[in-house]
Structure 1
Amino acid sequence: PCTDQLERVFLRLGHAETDEQLQSIISKFLPPVLLKLSSAQEGVRKKVMELLVHLNKRIKSRPKIQLPVETLLVQYQDPAAVSFVTNFTIIYIKMGFPRLPIDKQCELAPSLLTAMEGRPQPQQDSLMHLLIPALYYLKYRNESTKLSSLFNLAEKPKIVHLLLDFMLDVLLMPYGFVLNELSRQSTPSGQGSSTSGSGGVGIPQPPPGMSFYAAKRVVGDNPWTAEQLEQCKLGIVKFIEAEQVPELDCVIHLVVASSDTRHSVATAADLELKSKQSLIDWNDPVIINKMFKVYLGDIPLKTKEGNLMKPELKRDPVSTRVKLKIVPHLLRSRLAAEQFPPNIQVKHH
């Protein structure tokens, strides 16, 4: 009976001529069809896969067709769902979310964060890739308290940590960066220190302040254009302004953003940093350690752990432009001056 039902869905898809008809069938049948991937019968699973291949062709050639993203997000978060089902469900969330109207994307933004909980890192990255562009459009004015409770991040320290790490990499990402262009580069002769120092011969050179792995995460499956990246960076600064996360965790984000090559991002971050000056304790070890870490990158340490770092995870120091923004803040910190060895390492960079 199960394969008969799938056959009927197949027929209905075949008869759908307009986008509206196709969208109606997809909205109704896609979530339950995905659930059938957990069937014990191989014949059913095979039929579902055939159906999905057919569906993908139809969806990809019709960019206006909306997918039932909200239902899929609920299904994705079901603790009882098997990983085979969730792995396919996120494919359609990724396909459908950018097609949604902006106001719907804003409405579902908190659900993306909730959905990250306990997921494999590639899936968390995909969800962050959908969330970050939506931040630019979120309305925070006079709704700060409402949005704070909507995002509910106070109860999700792991998600906050993930999100802030990803956001910092987005802010460090240069405009117009192309990953595959980078992948064609061989290790430059005479400049081996940037890669071979950590045993990374043949690892492509990442942007300053980033590792190859971090760059790959930010580029994702659908790289942002320079204009989209600018909006993403502005969205992150707005998100920090709206105090959605503890402000002291975001000081380094604002310092990096204030060095941005695009005026809109640098100005917004600078203004926010100035407004927070009286709140920031420049002798706070958390703030200072983050600044040193970003400034210096991963310096190979003569320890077991340092030697174990995979070359693609090794972060390079940031560009001179970012360093020039960090140094004045370090200079006002007594703690930074006393911190050894980073105080000497910064001096030599």
Structure 2
Amino acid sequence: MSGQEELLLLERVLLRFGGADTDEKLEKSVGRFLCPVLLKLGTERKDVRDKTLVLTHISKQLKNRLKLAMPVDALLQQYEDSTLSSFVHNFTVVYLKMALVRIARAEQLVLVPRLLCCLEGRPVANQNAQLRVITPLLGSVELPESQVDRASWLMLRQKRRAVGSLLLEFLIDFRRLPYKKPSFTPTPEHGENRVDPGGLQGLTHASYQRASADLTVSNGYFDKLEEMKLGAVEFIASGIFAEEDVACHLLVASADTHHSVADKSDSHLKRMVGPDIWEKVPVITAVYMLLLGSTMNVPLDEVMLGSQGDTKSPTHCSVARDFVLLAILTVLQRSTEAVDQIELAVKACAVCHYSTQLKIRIQGLLLLQHICEHSSEDNATKYGASLFSYVCERIMEDESLLLCVAWP
């Protein structure tokens, strides 16, 4: 088809939309022409691409007409086509999101496997948009009955392991979203408002935006968040993922401030995760990342003086909030591998030292005792001075409980 013919067709489509004086006519035109118009975005001809401004007209028409059906299946098929340009995909996913909210929940659930399968290879922004659509549905997704079949569901442990990793990475951020809207601090140097780090313990500003961009007060975000977190817990504990892949998720969720989420997660944690899981290097490294945040990359001598790095940086991640920190410390005190990663263990002790909570400072001393009992001779020699200094400072504390733990 020549460029002139394409321009003529787009002009006719625009006239068709302009003449759609009823919802029925508009719905029919959207179903017939939306996907073909989106495909024109991939053309090399600039004059044809410019003519696709008809999409702006379509968007305005659809914005306040939520009952109008859109061609969900056709949009998803187009998005699944890996041969199309990223430009076409970027616009297609926008209309796909608009289409998904217009169909019944039962129909949305049927599409979840297809949405997951087309995550791989997409731009990060598109992946995040898909994951925000998928996450609220996870608790109701129909899964195979047998554990064997679940372990191979969508091949998330095998062929599509990268997709499984993307989903788990997103969910660990989603799991730590606060139940109250955090405050925002103006940052003129970045040209935007940033979330007050004090309200996002364990999350960076980018992680918060990634997980919550479509969740607002107006659409009942705070009321629905507990239900969505419960659904996500049930999904990851269903046997789709290996125990070591979900251990950190369940650990964080078991310290949730809402008892329904915490109790359910703790039950799954005790059922699924044995002591041997906490002796695996990748798992313990991930646990330390959850606890320390950006402090993990700060030199040890600075951490011992109370530094957590550049707290004003947009990529800064503060240490875990108190409940999560206590849950993590309980795990670390039972793990030999936690002691072998000695520098991170000493940083964890230092973080506890500067906590305002007496219970956390006591648990930090118990972790120190665990380090002293199980540390190798080389590690004891290398870090002994730092540990001894830490104990001496604890002995000088006023709290009698700290004295009782520190003196032995």
**Mind listing any 5+ residue stretches in structure 2 that lack a counterpart?**
301-307, 353-408
List aligned pairs for 1:11-160, cutoff 5 A: 11-49=15-53, 51-140=54-143, 142=145, 149-154=152-157, 155-160=159-164
SS of aligned partner of 1:250: helix
SS of aligned partner of 1:176: coil
Counterpart contact for 1:37–1:84, Cα < 8 Å: yes
Among 234, 237, 254, the alignment partner of 1:238 is 234
Deviation digits for residues 235-289 of structure 1 (CA, Å, limit 9, x no counterpart): 2111112122222111110011111112221121111112114475321222211
**1:334 matched to 2:327:** no
Counterpart contact for 1:102–1:137, Cα < 8 Å: no
Aligned-partner residue type, residue 205 of structure 1: D
Give the C-alpha shift of residue 48 in structure 1. 1.4
Counterpart contact for 2:180–2:222, Cα < 8 Å: yes
Distance 1:144 1:12, change over 3 A: farther
Comparing 13-22 and 124-133, the one that deviates more:
13-22
CA–CA separation in structure 1 for the residues paired with 2:185 and 2:33: 41
Aligned-partner residue type, residue 301 of structure 1: V
Q: CA RMSD in A?
A: 2.8
Give the C-alpha shift of residue 150 in structure 1. 4.6
**1:249 matched to 2:242:** no
Distance 1:147 1:108, change over 3 A: farther
Distance 1:149 1:338, change over 3 A: closer
Distance 1:281 1:86, change over 3 A: closer
Distance 1:337 1:38, change over 3 A: closer
Deviation digits for residues 5-51 of structure 1 (CA, Å, limit 9, x no counterpart): 223322332333443432222122111111112233333222211x1
Comparing 207-216 and 38-47, the one that deviates more:
38-47
Runs of 4+ in 1 over 4 A off after TM superposition: 143-150, 306-310
Deviation digits for residues 44-83 of structure 1 (CA, Å, limit 9, x no counterpart): 222211x111110111110122222222222123222122
Give the C-alpha shift of residue 127 in structure 1. 1.0
Among 207, 212, 226, the alignment partner of 1:214 is 207
CA–CA separation in structure 1 for the residues paired with 2:312 and 2:281: 27
Give the C-alpha shift of residue 109 in structure 1. 0.8
Comparing 89-98 and 251-260, the one that deviates more:
89-98
Higher relative contact order structure (alpha carbons within 8 Å, sequence separation ≥ 6): 1
Larger gyration radius, structure 1 or structure 2: 2
Normalising by structure 2, we get a TM-score of: 0.74
Distance 1:139 1:157, change over 3 A: closer
Match of 2:363 in 1: none
Match of 2:263 in 1: 267
Match of 1:182 in 2: 184
Indicate the percent of aligned positions where both proteins have the same amino acid. Answer: 33
Normalising by structure 1, we get a TM-score of: 0.85
CA–CA separation in structure 2 for the residues paired with 1:151 and 1:133: 19
CA–CA separation in structure 2 for the residues paired with 1:156 and 1:108: 17
CA–CA separation in structure 2 for the residues paired with 1:314 and 1:159: 26
Distance 1:141 1:156, change over 3 A: closer
CA–CA separation in structure 2 for the residues paired with 1:285 and 1:81: 41
Aligned-partner residue type, residue 290 of structure 2: V
Counterpart contact for 1:3–1:47, Cα < 8 Å: yes
Comparing 202-211 and 110-119, the one that deviates more:
202-211
Match of 1:168 in 2: 172
CA–CA separation in structure 1 for the residues paired with 2:224 and 2:241: 23
SS of aligned partner of 1:134: helix
Number of aligned residues: 330
